[in-house]
Amino acid sequence: MIAMTLAEIAAATRGTLLLDGTGATPETVVDGLSTTDSREVVPGTIFFAKPGEFTDGHLFAPQAAEAGAGLVVVDHELDLPVPQLLVEDTVVALGDLATEVIARVRALGRLKIVGVTGSNGKTTTKNLLREILEQVGPTIAPRASFNNEVGAPVTMLQVTEETQFLVAEMGASGIGEIARLVRMARPDIGIVLKVGLAHAGEFGGIEKTLAAKTEMVTDLLDTDVAVLNLDDPRVATMADKTVARVLWFGTDERAEVRATDIASTARGTSFTLHLPDGSARTVQFRVLGEHHVWNALAAAAAAFTLDVDGDLIVSALQTVQRAERWRMEVMGGNGVTVINDAYNASPDSMAAAIKTLAQIAEPGTRTIAVLGEMSELGEFSGEEHDRIGLLAVRLGIDQLVIVGPAARRMHISAINEGSWNGESLYFDTQDEAYEHLAGALRPGDTVLVKSSNSAGLRFLGDRLGELFS
């Protein structure tokens, strides 16, 4: 974070400084990172005591003080020998401080900001873009999926005067949340990847999901660029909702950043990348799954807009071996390939992963899909689990292993579609599924493990990967 006095931080957050007995003054300078996790505090850090669903960050403020926090942001005064900033809402204050820091660094004229949203692919696209931009200059991007009202501003506060690029991943579970993040960061480039049923239960339906994702581009200026997926009809409608210049990506021949000749194997995906300058380059993309090509196109489009050389874009894309931990992560060995893609799941990403499994298996080998719940679908949950069960059968997946009561409809649908001779199996628990798979898998098998994060099948994937490594 840039250096700011306590008085400047208080002004930015509309807070009141409590300094008695601390030895600090309003002119004391703080330049440490910000966090809402007391375990991450190092001397000089700003600790935001955030109320949580199960606990309250104020309970951990003493640990933050002991670790050397330079400032503790609270919504009520605590008996601690450390400067405190009393605010009405610590999460709002976090966002206000991020807004001020971004504005100050922007005023220096060096920083360029890319915002990324979409129902699927945000983290992968962010990682790919970071890999590209780090070849050009100092780049800040969130770790893991830091993309909400807390994670996004924590990432933004890492920006310093030397930062050249900020990649801001922007997720949401309701209307107005992306707009708030956009107002904090003011992106020069806004990427929208896809509008699907991920979190549809929280949003209240696909149309509200569309409205929320459109917030990425509605506040862009006419000097900005909206990078939009031409292959997604809902995303394509956003061109009419922004004054920014639109740069299309996809496989549609009208897209300025386009992929042709896509071919998927167990070693990755190859495609030809076409850029707006008319050039075309072959990309040997090691991230597994054809659906990740669209994420690569979005990253390439943003990088091209930032004047990154086409050869550098391709070189950086080809160095990335996996999207992220537990995202199409290839594990296993001794003839058994385990694809652990159980960090998250929506109907679109589940379907894409199963299609990838069907595409990459060698002739004469078995495909096994170990599937768990897709969460946060609300009223769409039953029919979408049914649809995935049917899809697995129609794609010819050799063995379905469904885990957990919330996913059982996939098993029932598969049986109803004809998988009544043991091709689909159901287990209540991961341990039961593991015991079966440990004895049933054999050399040549390709195993996909896929579920929402809350279902926890990523740990089952890890166990299987370790078993055959």
* Residues flagged as binding site for ATP: 118-124
Counted residue by residue, the chain has a size of: 469
- 421, exposed or middle or buried, with CB in 10 Å at 0-12, 13-18, 19+? exposed
How far is residue 148 from each of residues 30, 152, 408, 448, measured CA to CA in Å? 25, 5, 31, 28
Which DSSP category does 362 fall into?
Answer: P
Helix crossing, 457-467 with 430-440: angle to 10°? 30
8 Å CB contact between 209 and 126:
no
> Cα(76)–Cα(457) distance, rounded to whole angstroms?
40
Tell how far CA 93 is from the center of its chain. 24
∠158-310-133 over CA atoms, to 5°? 5
Query: What proportions of the chain, in percent to the nearest 5, are helix, strand and coil?
Result: 40, 20, 40
Please provide the DSSP assignment of 140-194 as one string. Answer: E--STT--STTHHHHHHTT--TT--EEEEE---SSTTHHHHHHHHH--SEEEE--
Nearby residues of 291 by Cβ (< 8 Å), 6 or more positions away: 120, 121, 349, 352, 353, 355, 356
Which DSSP category does 53 fall into?
Answer: S
* β-pair type (84-86, 16-18): antiparallel
> Cα(76)–Cα(441) distance, rounded to whole angstroms?
57
415's tokens = 């049986």
Q: Which residues are annotated as a binding site?
A: 118-124
CB atoms within 10 A of CB 88: 10
> Cα(419)–Cα(346) distance, rounded to whole angstroms?
23
How far is residue 225 from each of residues 191, 236, 354, measured CA to CA in Å? 9, 14, 34
Give the CB-side neighbour count of residue 359, counting CA atoms within 13 A. 18
Residue 26 three-state SS: coil
Helix crossing, 177-185 with 90-106: angle to 10°? 40
8 Å CB contact between 403 and 411:
no
Give the CB-side neighbour count of residue 24, counting CA atoms within 13 A. 22
